[in-house]
Chains A and B, each alone.
Chain A
Amino acid sequence: DAGVTQSPTHLIKTRGQQVTLRCSPKSGHDTVSWYQQALGQGPQFIFQYYEEEERQRGNFPDRFSGHQFPNYSSELNVNALLLGDSALYLCASSYGPGELFFGEGSRLTVL
């Protein structure tokens, strides 16, 4: 049983570009959450998707958007990249409000 898988694992972008990160949840899970983790910090909640809708959002600007597909997989999009967007982006899945299972993350570097 595959756990949470994320792609790509690493990527480099330049300021102003756009990026899309992808997440496949653990089998049987219907809820996907996204977190941003800067170096040396704890993960920060970006938003959560359930039934293809954004259910709750953390303190992130509209440049951060997402989508959940009918098969429960999800994408995180970030527009107009800033240097400060460089971070590890973590996807977590759950069955409803249950225990979170995290992927290993996508490491984004913005130059």
Chain B
Amino acid sequence: DAKTTQPNSMESNEEEPVHLPCNHSTISGTDYIHWYRQLPSQGPEYVIHGLTSNVNNRMASLAIAEDRKSSTLILHRATLRDAAVYYCIRTPSNTGNQFYFGTGTSLTVIP
């Protein structure tokens, strides 16, 4: 049971920022939010994760709402290589990394 809701698909122009939303309204206080992405014909790869505060790394930023019921993955400048399915996953802190993926958001980047 993924317990997150994401749009099925989104489009972005190349070199523009992309905001990928995720709803997790039933999240509990100790659940982490993880984002993975899956490029065509590849296994998923880690993007970013967070608990309460916003997080940044070289790939993306994660903005978590104050009530933690939603979050947004931000790609600052989309490239063609960012075209992938993006999965938002919530995990209780006591279950480690046994992830339950939903169907994700398929991102199309337009040149």
Tell me the A residues contacting B by CB distance below 8 Å.
4, 31, 33, 35, 40-45, 48, 56, 58, 90, 92, 94, 96-105
Q: Do A98 and B97 touch (CB < 8 A)?
A: yes
Cβ B44 vs Cβ A100 within 8 A: yes
Q: Given the complex of chains A and B, what is the CA–CA distance between A48 and B97 in angstroms?
A: 9
Q: Could you tell me the dominant secondary structure of chain B's interface residues?
A: loop
Interface size on B, residues (CB 8 A): 21
Complex Cα–Cα for A34 and B99 (A): 10
Residues of B within 8 A of A (CB): 2, 36, 41-46, 49, 85, 87, 95-104
Contacts of A103 in B (CB 8 A): 43
Given A41-B103, A45-B101, A56-B95, 19 new contacts (CB under 8 A): A4-B43, A42-B85, A42-B102, A43-B99, A44-B100, A45-B100, A48-B97, A56-B96, A58-B100, A92-B44, A94-B97, A98-B97, A99-B49, A99-B97, A101-B45, A101-B46, A102-B45, A104-B41, A104-B42
Given A33-B98, A96-B96, the answer on whether A42 and B46 have CB atoms closer than 8 Å is no
